[in-house]
Amino acid sequence: MLAIFIKTLPFFMLIGLGWGAARFRVFPPEAAAWLTKFVFYFPLSAMLFRFAATLEIGQIWDPRFTAAYLIGSLALWAIGIAVARARGLPISEAVMEAHCCVIGNTGFLGVPMLVVLMGDAAAGPVLMILIIDLVVFSTLITLIITAARQGHLRWSLTGRLLKGLVANPMIVSMSAGLIWSAARLPIPGPAMEFLTLLSAAATPGALFAIGASLVGRRAERPAIAVWLSSAKLILHPAAVAAACFALGVEPFAAGVMIAASALPVAGNVYMLAQYFGIAVQRVSSAILVSTAASVFTIPVIMHLIEKG
């Protein structure tokens, strides 16, 4: 396990570097916001397009894999809602806490780290998880919160949801890559070199931005933050592992799914919380605690995956 910890340590050192730079004002908050936007729209999008365009559709879409991830994640999502409702929280806050339990930082941390740790073959399963998180769960939480607030759903919401998906550069880049792959179009040499060069900025830029974004967060209501972090870092990989076992998912793909499920709470959950004005501080605390704890939990999960 020490070897795995050493392999993952550079990724968390980059996160720590970003935190230190922002904490001591070498890197001001507005710079962190712009770096996040740069990574989101350019290097990460280039990386996702390159992966999707060079993979066969069968390497990404696997019905059994998709079913296992959905079943495991939805089961934990339901548990997250039940725990919140048992504490007397309204349904809108309950689903936001449930979202923390299942939505990991797959884009900024999972894609670069898992491909490095597990090889290029991990790209397909990771992209599938990212698509499910962005399309299925983001749509689900939006529908539930909107229905809770308005008492019903309107057809106009469909247009807003579609507009949100189309405006997401990760969705656009993956969709464009899949279309390119389906058309069996080659990527010209200069274009591939451009994508490779731009993609190289994704890993350090994303990890540095994660660290910088943690500055200013406070672990208020620590008991709730610990519960949400434990659900994300421990219960989520356990739930999808059980679903993988039950459905007989191919071992390597199952390992990638379990590793991706062990990632800390994603920053876009905080963006949703801010947008809806729901449980903002709780989500922020969960991101802080889960990211700090993942330094130790991810190597353990990776070690268990290696041991089968």
Q: Tell me the pLDDT tens digit for each residue of 27-66.
A: 887 888 899 899 989 999 999 999 999 888 777 889 999 9
pLDDT at 189: 92
Pick the CATH number of 2-306 from 3.40.50.2000, 1.20.1530.20, 3.20.20.70, 3.40.640.10: 1.20.1530.20
Taking the CA atoms of residue 13, residue 17, residue 19 and residue 21 in that order, the dihedral angle to the nearest 10 degrees is 180
pLDDT at 108: 86
What's the chain's Rg over C-alpha atoms?
A: 19
133-148 average pLDDT score: 87
Q: Do 22 and 215 touch, CB atoms closer than 8 A?
A: yes
Among candidate residues 110, 107, 86, 108, the one with its CA nearest the CA of residue 97: 86
Length reported for the chain: 308
- Euclidean distance between CA atoms 160 and 169, whole angstroms: 16
- Euclidean distance between CA atoms 108 and 269, whole angstroms: 13
Among 25-39, 151-165, 252-266, top mean pLDDT goes to 252-266
pLDDT at 222: 83
pLDDT at 156: 63
pLDDT at 276: 86
The amino acid sitting at 10 is P
Q: Do 109 and 206 touch, CB atoms closer than 8 A?
A: yes
Q: Does 239 score more than 70 pLDDT?
A: yes
Taking the CA atoms of residue 244, residue 249, residue 251 and residue 254 in that order, the dihedral angle to the nearest 10 degrees is -50
Q: Does 70 score more than 80 pLDDT?
A: yes
Q: Does 164 score more than 80 pLDDT?
A: no
What is residue 107's DSSP assignment?
Answer: I
pLDDT at 219: 67
Please, where are the H alpha helices in 87-150? 91-102, 111-118, 123-131, 138-150
Please, where are the H alpha helices in 136-235? 138-150, 156-166, 169-182, 189-199, 202-214, 222-230
pLDDT at 157: 63
206-210 average pLDDT score: 92
- Euclidean distance between CA atoms 167 and 260, whole angstroms: 24
